[in-house]
Structure 1
Amino acid sequence: MKRKWQLLASMLVLLVGIGVWSARDTFATARIGTTYVAKQTCSCLFVAGRPLDSCRTDFDPEALRPLDVVIGGSAVTVSALGGLISSRAQFEKEYGCHPVN
């Protein structure tokens, strides 16, 4: 019976390890994607002066589906994975838009 529990525990550790290994790429991709969308949307809104609906057409609709875009003041915050990953871009009159993470 003890051997059975050891085998189950080993399998659980292995599965968790595989999950963590696989998720690292997902988190890296989410960080890159949210930063890119925040910066581009900030530039579109505050530098080019386009409305948000027009800015959304710059991206593939499927790529925007899992992202939440929030405009506040002169900044754009984009989050993914239920808010676990988020990036912010700030507009400064003299410098344009830049990521602030």
Structure 2
Amino acid sequence: MPRRLHGRRRGASRWGGCLPWAAGFGVLLLIFLIWQFPSFKAQAELGSAYAARVGCSCRYVQGRSLDSCQTDFEPGMELVSLSDDPATKTVTGSVPLLASRSARYAGANGCLINPAP
């Protein structure tokens, strides 16, 4: 009579064969993120420049506080943070690890976005 094997088959992995699928999915996800990174970076540059310009106009043209200016952002701009430099009348909008742009108050011309470095 053949002896029955108890438990797992000999040589079967603990993951039951899911590890290759998970690794394959991880590689595909990594390829997708690398492919889309330029788009993410461009959107972050655009969003930070827009936030800096709106924040500068709100702060120095309208005379409001920077905290109240952040309520003027469009939906989806929650990642953009603003900082203020009163000495140079500059507002900087930044998306962590991706982009940072500044706008400065230019008197009668309003606020101008500083050129990208």
TM-score, length-normalised on structure 2?
0.64
In terms of Rg, which structure is larger? 2
Q: Which residue in the other structure is 2:85 paired with?
A: 72
Taking the aligned partners of 1:35 and 1:99, their CA distance within structure 2 comes to: 7
Structure 2: gaps of 5 or more residues: 1-26
Query: Is the counterpart of residue 59 in structure 1 residue 84 in structure 2?
Result: no
- Structure 1, residues 26-67: CA drift from partner, whole Å, max 9, x if none? 111101100000000100010111122221111146522x22
Task: Report the 3-state secondary structure (helix = DSSP H, G, I; strand = E; otherwise coil) of the residue aligned with 1:49.
Answer: coil
Taking the aligned partners of 1:15 and 1:50, their CA distance within structure 2 comes to: 43
Task: Report the 3-state secondary structure (helix = DSSP H, G, I; strand = E; otherwise coil) of the residue aligned with 2:73.
Answer: coil
Query: Is the counterpart of residue 92 in structure 1 residue 100 in structure 2?
Result: no
Q: Which residue in the other structure is 2:44 paired with?
A: 30
* Larger RCO: 1 or 2 (CA < 8 Å, sep 6+): 1
Structure 1 vs Structure 2 CA RMSD: 2.4
Written as runs of structure 1 = structure 2, the 5 A alignment for 1:31-50 is 31-50=45-64
TM-score, length-normalised on structure 1?
0.73
Identity of aligned residues (%): 34
Task: Report the 3-state secondary structure (helix = DSSP H, G, I; strand = E; otherwise coil) of the residue aligned with 1:57.
Answer: helix
Structure 1: gaps of 5 or more residues: 1-11
Taking the aligned partners of 2:81 and 2:68, their CA distance within structure 1 comes to: 16
Task: Report the 3-state secondary structure (helix = DSSP H, G, I; strand = E; otherwise coil) of the residue aligned with 1:70.
Answer: strand
The count of residues paired between Structure 1 and Structure 2 equals 89
Which structure has the highest strand share of the two? Answer: 1
Taking the aligned partners of 1:16 and 1:61, their CA distance within structure 2 comes to: 28
Taking the aligned partners of 2:44 and 2:112, their CA distance within structure 1 comes to: 18
Which structure has the highest helix share of the two? Answer: 1
User: Where has structure 1 moved over 4 Å in runs of 4 or more?
Assistant: 14-17
